Amino acid sequence: MARCWSYLRGLSICVTVLLLVSGVVMIGVGFSSIEGNVPVAELFDQLSISDDGVLALQVFGPITVVLSVLGISAAVSNHKLLLLLFSALIFVEFVALMIVASPLVHVEAEVNFAVEDIFLNVTPLHRAELFIQTELQKLQTSDSCCGLRSFEDWGNHLPDSCSCSPPAGLSAQTSNSSSLGSCVMTGTNPHPSDKLWVHSEPCGPILKSYLGFPIKLRIGIISAFATITITAIILCLVLGLEDLWKKPPVETTVDDFNRVKYQPKPSLS
């Protein structure tokens, strides 16, 4: 039984150390500028994304680090009152974080709807501001895409960054096909010799993935924190209430021993 309690104490130390690491990660992500890496960021200047996730990481990250140090000290010293205090404090933090970060679940869907409205307002792209066109063409060249929702967003002013070269083997199979591999033929050039091939994939989903990554990252960190926190609470509560789980030893006096020793044996008759 003593080995079991020793194992639980070692496990609680490991879990509280993981909780400390998660607090450090929360601080790092909370104070880092992940949103600055979004291509064509000028498109989304008017997009208001909830800062609940960032504020939650910035506030609860340092709190988690401090409470984790308390939990590690309590687990190492096996101090019952400190273990119970740590369990109570980390539970309060867990409930508060879940309340504050709960709007993050709906933020991603709201961002997708808002981005669709932005795509609709900025088209046709050849009439958009010059710096937006320049940044979008860089994205089209690097990620082999064209337009926001489709190449038709450019109208009849397709830039060179939309141009696509279909595989040689596929292009020789048929001259009537309007789609080959990741390329699609536009309807602007009816003559087979003047076919214009462009990238069939739009750039909109790529931009959405860039915008959604910080939100998914914060949700993932908070979910990992929640899992580690629940485990730490259970282990520290079990260790803190160790005396209640153990059966008190049965005291045997000398009189009890002599009574058992000299008790007459029953006769066999």
- Interval 165-179 mean pLDDT: 53
Comparing 258 with 231, the larger pLDDT belongs to: 231
CA distance 66 to 85: 13
Statement: residue 200 has pLDDT above 70:
yes
Neighbours of 219 (CB within 10 A): 16
Least confident of 16-25, 34-43, 75-84, 111-120: 34-43
pLDDT at 70 over 90: yes
What is the rounded distance in angstroms from the CA atom of residue 153 to the CA atom of residue 162?
A: 11
Task: Judge contact between 198 and 141, C-beta under 8 A.
Answer: no
pLDDT value at 248 more than 60: no
Q: What angle do CA 155, 159, 162 make, to 5 degrees?
A: 95
Longest dimension (CA), the chain: 120
Q: Which range among 24-33, 86-95, 169-178 shows the weakest confidence by mean pLDDT?
A: 169-178
Calculate the dihedral angle through the C-alpha atoms of 197, 201, 203, 204, rounding to the nearest 10 degrees. Answer: 140
Band (172; pLDDT cuts 50, 70, 90): very low
Does 177 score more than 50 pLDDT? no
Q: Would you state the pLDDT for residue 4?
A: 75
Q: In the predicted model, what is the mean pLDDT of residues 116-133?
A: 82
- Give the confidence band of 73 by pLDDT, cuts at 50, 70, 90: very high
Report how far residue 219's alpha carbon sits from residue 52's, in angstroms, rounded to the nearest whole number.
11
pLDDT confidence of residue 142: 85
